[in-house]
């Protein structure tokens, strides 16, 4: 298969449409001097997620992407360029999530979901990241190899420094009237650095005047819809861990962070110093 972004070559991106409010493709030529080396690139893929499930004719596809960009100007566009099964490429715009590193960088995210009865799969495996700012286009194309994930990979850490990351789509704080308790559910991905490891969540309901710790449990498989599961660790050597805590009904607003202890080291996911927050009967 011809790669999307060879150095010293140009590629015409064909116009096509995409569901779920994604923008139409526009013509663009990839110029060699627009592609910066990944080590000094102002745009980088942090992590991605792909899953597929099928039950009685209903199929569901999901893809998620998290990208970091240098905050070079206020006006900017960040997108995933994703190859379709027909060989064309779609532009999937990301949206601003938060500013980090004292304003130097930003986090941008997007979640693509497609579901229906007997629908056709749209996307192939390959994708790259595009960042447009101040009239310049930067790319993260995995050092010329393009990123690739099949329809059912689970989590992928593109950033080699990323060792632990909470999946906020599977974090909740729910009230159960049967026993007048709240339940805090948490799901985390970690890079498999050793067989012996500990993953846990540290949380507080009173602004960190007090705090509690709950160890998480390794999930050998992760069910993604009926009759379908992702193995852990997956093809990218990422494991899924999960746990919960039973709380008083008054504890309806939590802050939390994740700690991963392995090989004598501690790795934290504290949402870039902002901590994660979850409220009663809601997801992050």
Q: What is the pLDDT of residues 146-169, one digit of tens each?
A: 999 998 899 999 999 999 999 999
Residue 173 falls within a domain, yes or no? yes
Domain-terminating residue out of 157, 182, 216: 157
170 and 129 in a single domain? The answer is: no
pLDDT tens digits for range 171-183: 999 998 888 999 9
Q: Which domain holds residue 61?
A: 32-157
| Residue (of 186, 182, 187) closest to 252 by Cα position | 182
- Among 157, 181, 203, the domain-final residue is 157
Query: Would you say 53 and 110 are in contact if contact means Cβ atoms under 8 Å apart?
Result: no
> Residues 176, 264: one domain?
yes
Q: Mean pLDDT across the stretch 187-207?
A: 97
User: Could you give the dihedral angle defined by the CA atoms of residues 183, 184, 187 and 190, in that order, rounded to the nearest 10 degrees?
Assistant: -130
Q: What digits encode the pLDDT tens for the residues 238-268? A: 999 999 999 999 999 999 999 999 999 999 9
The mean per-residue pLDDT over the stretch 220-228 comes to: 71
Nearest to 214 by CA among 188, 253, 240, 194: 188
The residues that bridge with 72 in the sheet, in sequence order, are none
What confidence score (pLDDT) does residue 282 get?
59
Same domain, residue pair 151 and 204: no
181 within domain boundaries: yes
pLDDT at 7: 34
67-119 confidence digits (pLDDT tens): 999 999 999 999 999 999 999 999 999 999 999 999 999 999 999 998 999 88
Indicate whether 184 belongs to any domain: yes
User: Does residue 83 lie in a domain region?
Assistant: yes
Q: Let me know whether 101 and 184 are in one domain.
A: no
Whether residue 4 is predicted with pLDDT greater than 90 in this model: the reply is: no
Residue 137 lies in a domain: yes
Structure confidence at residue 190 (pLDDT): 98
Give the confidence band of 224 by pLDDT, cuts at 50, 70, 90: low
Number of independent structural domains in the chain = 2
- pLDDT of 1 above 70: no
Burial of 112 (0-12, 13-18, 19+ CB in 10 A): buried
Residue 97 belongs to a domain: yes
Residue 29 above 60 pLDDT?
no
Please answer whether residues 224 and 203 qualify as being in contact, where contact means their C-beta atoms are separated by less than 8 angstroms: no
- Structural domain includes residue 12: no
- Point out the domain boundary residue: 142, 157, 172: 157
Q: How confident is the model at residue 227 (pLDDT cuts 50, 70, 90)?
A: low
pLDDT tens for each residue of 38-66: 346 899 999 999 998 888 888 889 999 99
Asked, for residue 17, whether it belongs to a domain, the answer is: no
- pTM summary value: 0.83
Q: Are 133 and 72 in contact (CB under 8 A)?
A: yes
**How many Å apart are CA 279 and CA 270, to the nearest integer?**
17
């Amino acid at each position: 298969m011809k790669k999307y972004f060879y150095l010293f070559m140009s590629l015409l991106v064909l116009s096509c449409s995409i569901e779920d409010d994604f923008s139409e493709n526009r013509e663009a030529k990839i110029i060699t001097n627009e592609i910066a080396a990944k080590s000094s690139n102002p745009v980088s893929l942090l992590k991605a997620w792909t899953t597929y499930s099928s039950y009685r004719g209903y199929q569901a596809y999901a893809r998620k992407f998290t990208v970091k960009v240098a905050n070079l100007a206020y006006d900017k566009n960040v997108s995933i360029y994703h190859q379709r099964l027909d060989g064309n490429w779609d532009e999937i715009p990301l949206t601003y999530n938060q500013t980090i590193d004292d304003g130097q960088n930003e986090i941008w995210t997007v979640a693509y979901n497609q579901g229906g009865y007997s629908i056709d799969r749209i996307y192939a495996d390959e994708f790259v990241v595009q960042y447009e700012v101040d009239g310049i286009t930067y790319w993260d194309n995995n050092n010329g190899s393009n990123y690739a994930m099949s329809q059912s990979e689970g989590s992928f850490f593109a950033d080699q420094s990323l060792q632990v990351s909470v999946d906020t789509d599977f974090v909740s704080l729910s009230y159960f009237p049967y026993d007048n308790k709240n339940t805090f559910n948490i799901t985390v991905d970690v890079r498999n650095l050793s067989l012996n490891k500990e993953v846990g969540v540290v949380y507080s309901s009173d602004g960190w005047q007090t705090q509690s710790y709950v160890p998480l449990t390794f999930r050998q498989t992760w069910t993604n819809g009926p009759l379908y599961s992702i193995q852990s660790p997956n093809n990218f050597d990422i494991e899924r861990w999960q746990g919960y805590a039973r709380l008083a009904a008054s504890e309806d607003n939590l802050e939390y962070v994740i700690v991963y202890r392995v090989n004598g080291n501690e790795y934290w996911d504290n949402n870039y110093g902002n901590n994660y927050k979850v409220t009663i009967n809601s997801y992050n």
